[in-house]
């Protein structure tokens, strides 16, 4: 049984037919073709599928696709600013905050949710923002440093 | 796996569908039901949802708190007047989970999940149930004891606001800053002339559903919150518990450490 789903994805209107009851992750990857969002556990525990829905972090694997009708969905594919990387992406590169890279899309979106809400986070706030995202490679410290650095860089540009 | 998804504007209509349709499950935040769907749970044939604004409403009056069952942990964290519950809400997953996880959903979370339900149990909460029969209420303790049976829909949870500084909570995990509970303890410790009067203590992950520590509550009555005063309660801390072995901890370990963390909580050295 297919059901129509319409929402905004990274600023563009998209429409797809999804299996009734399908999760947003599967619809993004299989019906819409946005392969930037990754699936890890499909249980809501690893955080790699994190996207922003109406600006708030959500786990796409446990989000009913139909519940996103009319909403704004952001994935890591929409992070770049024209030809330039988002400051978070640049900071992740500079701090070697990705090794295997599988958690990176979710980490970036969790961090973006934080910086959109709080441009000057403390280290503790960064740790809390990514505490639902599992990374088995980096030991987290490079990721925390990258998010803090991205925040400082964004602030410098605004000053 | 394809299932029927039915969305209702009124909670009463959703409750009717839930009780009348075979294989129907109610979807709130998705942390339980979407996971079951992803695992192709064959018992789910229909997903029932509701967009009723009352389902996500927080109603606060001087002494009364009513939380719609669809209120999320993030919404509780955004409510300044519920600051005493913030450590509990913050203990539920990371930010993305907190945007989804609901008060009502936590009442159905299998052990070792259910930290928020334990807090509500310590607050003597009452569950407001919607069903084909209309709305009725049930004590949370009674509801948790038979939550696997019946098809009533939780509309909201009601409790009294605890006295200032009377509510305490601790969650014990192996992974920091965030992990699944080895156990959690919530306590409401009202004082009268410096002595405990009507304590409520609830544990999560010490049985298949959150449970009251009634022996410890009785042992605390009229006592002071110091080492000598709490000793009788610690001696019976594990009475009435039936923890299970799981990937997080063994039942033996849970029993061993429970009195340690209860002591810290009672003498004020607990941490969220």
Q: Is the pLDDT of residue B272 over 90?
A: no
Supply the pLDDT for residue A159: 52
Q: Name the pLDDT band for B263 (thresholds 50, 70, 90).
A: very high
Mean pLDDT by 10 residues, chain A (159 residues): 94 95 97 97 96 98 97 96 92 96 98 97 97 95 98 70
Asked if A41 reaches chain B (Cβ–Cβ under 8 Å), the answer is no
Q: Do B177 and A57 touch (CB under 8 A)?
A: no
DSSP string for B146-175: TTTS--PEEEEEEEEPPPTT-EEEEEEESS
Instruction: Let me know if residue B43 belongs to a domain.
Output: yes
Q: How far, in Å, CA of B9 to CA of B12, rounded?
A: 9
Q: Are A94 and A154 part of one and the same domain?
A: yes
CB < 8 Å to A50, chain B: 96
For chain B, the average pLDDT equals 94
Q: Are A55 and A95 part of one and the same domain?
A: no
Asked if B106 reaches chain A (Cβ–Cβ under 8 Å), the answer is no
Q: Do B35 and A62 touch (CB under 8 A)?
A: yes
Give the CA-trace dihedral at A30, A33, A37, A38, to 10 degrees.
Answer: 40
DSSP string for A85-145: PPHHHHHHHHTT--SS-SSHHHHHHHHHHHHHH-SS--HHHHHHHTTTS--SSS-SHHHHH
Q: Could you tell me which residues are beta bridge partners of residue B222?
A: none
Q: Are B217 and B120 part of one and the same domain?
A: no
Q: Do B95 and A59 touch (CB under 8 A)?
A: no
Q: Which of A24, A43, A78 is the last residue of a domain?
A: A78
Q: Are A9 and A73 part of one and the same domain?
A: yes
Asked if B138 reaches chain A (Cβ–Cβ under 8 Å), the answer is no
Task: State the nearest Cα–Cα gap between B225 and chain A, in angstroms.
Answer: 32
Q: What is the CATH number of the domain that holds A11?
A: 3.10.20.30
CB < 8 Å to A57, chain B: 95-96, 99
User: By C-alpha distance, which of B222, B220, B198 is closest to B266?
Assistant: B220
The count of structural domains within chain A is 2
User: B231 lies in which domain range?
Assistant: 167-266
Phi first, then psi: what are they for B216, rounded to 5°?
Answer: -65, -40
Residue of B40, B49, B96 to mutate when probing chain A, most A C-beta within 10 A: B96
Strand B46-50 and strand B24-26: the pairing is parallel
Q: Are A52 and A70 part of one and the same domain?
A: yes
pLDDT tens by residue, B83-106: 999 999 999 999 999 999 999 999
Q: What is the CATH number of the domain that holds B186?
A: 3.30.390.50
Instruction: Let me know if residue B184 belongs to a domain.
Output: yes
Q: Are A21 and A72 part of one and the same domain?
A: yes
User: A144 lies in which domain range?
Assistant: 87-158
pLDDT tens by residue, B100-140: 999 999 999 999 999 999 999 999 999 999 976 778 999 99
Query: pTM for the complete prediction?
Result: 0.94
Q: Do B177 and A47 touch (CB under 8 A)?
A: no
Q: Which of A78, A113, A141 is the last residue of a domain?
A: A78
Asked if B93 reaches chain A (Cβ–Cβ under 8 Å), the answer is yes
Strand B191-192 and strand A72-74: the pairing is unpaired
Q: Are A107 and A55 part of one and the same domain?
A: no
Q: Are A61 and A93 part of one and the same domain?
A: no
Q: Are B20 and B64 part of one and the same domain?
A: no
Q: How far, in Å, CA of B22 to CA of B172, rounded?
A: 39
The count of structural domains within chain B is 3
Q: Are A46 and A26 part of one and the same domain?
A: yes
Asked if B5 reaches chain A (Cβ–Cβ under 8 Å), the answer is yes
Locate the chain B residue with the closest alpha carbon to A19.
Answer: B2
Q: Do A23 and B34 touch (CB under 8 A)?
A: yes
Q: Are B121 and B191 part of one and the same domain?
A: no
Q: Are A117 and A152 part of one and the same domain?
A: yes
Asked if B87 reaches chain A (Cβ–Cβ under 8 Å), the answer is no
Supply the pLDDT for residue B176: 84
Strand B46-50 and strand B58-60: the pairing is unpaired
Q: Are A23 and A64 part of one and the same domain?
A: yes
pLDDT tens by residue, B162-192: 999 999 999 999 988 888 999 999 999 999 9
Q: What is the CATH number of the domain that holds A131?
A: 1.10.150.120
Q: Do A128 and B34 touch (CB under 8 A)?
A: no
Q: Do B94 and A110 touch (CB under 8 A)?
A: yes
Q: Are A8 and A69 part of one and the same domain?
A: yes
Instruction: Let me know if residue B271 belongs to a domain.
Output: no
Q: Are B179 and B260 part of one and the same domain?
A: yes
Q: Which of A48, A78, A108 is the last residue of a domain?
A: A78
pLDDT tens by residue, B185-225: 999 999 999 999 999 999 999 999 999 999 999 999 999 99
Instruction: Let me know if residue B121 belongs to a domain.
Output: yes
Q: Are A97 and A121 part of one and the same domain?
A: yes
Instruction: Let me know if residue B80 belongs to a domain.
Output: yes
pLDDT tens by residue, B21-68: 889 999 999 999 999 999 999 999 999 999 999 999 999 998 999 999
Q: Are B145 and B239 part of one and the same domain?
A: no
Instruction: Let me know if residue B10 belongs to a domain.
Output: yes
Q: What is the CATH number of the domain that holds B93?
A: 3.30.465.10
């Amino acid at each position: 049984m297919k059901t129509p789903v319409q929402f905004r994805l990274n600023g563009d209107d998209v429409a797809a037919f999804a299996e009734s009851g399908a999760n947003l992750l599967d619809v993004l990857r299989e019906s819409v073709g946005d392969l930037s969002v990754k699936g890890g556990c499909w249980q809501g525990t690893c955080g790699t599928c994190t996207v922003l829905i109406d600006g708030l972090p959500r786990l796409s694997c446990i989000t009913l696709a139909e519940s996103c009708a009319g909403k704004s969905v952001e994935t890591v594919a929409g992070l770049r600013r024209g030809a330039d990387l988002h400051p978070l992406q640049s900071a992740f590169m500079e701090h070697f905050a990705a090794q295997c890279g599988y958690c990176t899309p979710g980490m970036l979106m969790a961090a973006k949710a934080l910086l959109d809400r709080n441009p000057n986070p403390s280290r503790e706030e960064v740790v809390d923002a990514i505490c639902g995202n599992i990374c088995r490679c980096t030991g987290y410290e490079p990721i925390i440093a990258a998010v803090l650095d991205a925040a400082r860089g964004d602030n410098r540009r605004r000053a | 796996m394809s299932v029927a998804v039915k969305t209702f504007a009124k909670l009463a209509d959703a409750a009717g569908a839930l009780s009348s349709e075979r294989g129907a499950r109610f979807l709130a935040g998705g942390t339980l039901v979407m996971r079951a769907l992803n695992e192709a749970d064959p018992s789910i044939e229909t997903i029932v949802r509701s967009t009723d604004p009352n389902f996500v409403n927080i109603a606060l009056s001087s002494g009364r708190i009513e939380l719609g069952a669809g209120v999320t942990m993030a919404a509780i964290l955004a409510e300044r007047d519920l600051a005493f519950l913030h450590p509990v809400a913050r203990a539920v997953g990371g930010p993305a989970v907190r945007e989804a996880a609901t008060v009502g959903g936590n009442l159905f979370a299998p052990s070792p999940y259910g930290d928020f339900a334990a807090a509500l149990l310590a607050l003597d909460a009452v569950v407001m149930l919607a069903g084909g029969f209309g709305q009725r209420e049930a004590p949370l303790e009674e509801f948790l004891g038979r939550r696997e049976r019946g098809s009533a829909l939780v509309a909201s949870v009601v409790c009294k606001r605890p006295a200032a500084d009377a509510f305490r909570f601790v969650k014990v995990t192996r992974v920091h800053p965030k992990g699944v509970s080895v156990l959690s303890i919530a306590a409401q410790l009202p004082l009268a002339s410096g002595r405990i009067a009507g304590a409520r203590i609830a544990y999560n992950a010490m049985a298949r559903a959150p449970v009251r520590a009634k022996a410890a509550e009785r042992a605390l009555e009229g006592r002071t919150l110091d080492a000598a005063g709490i000793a009788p309660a610690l001696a019976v801390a594990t009475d009435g518990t039936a923890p299970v072995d799981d990937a997080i901890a063994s039942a033996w370990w849970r029993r061993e450490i429970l009195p340690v963390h209860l002591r810290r909580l009672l003498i004020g050295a607990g941490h969220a």
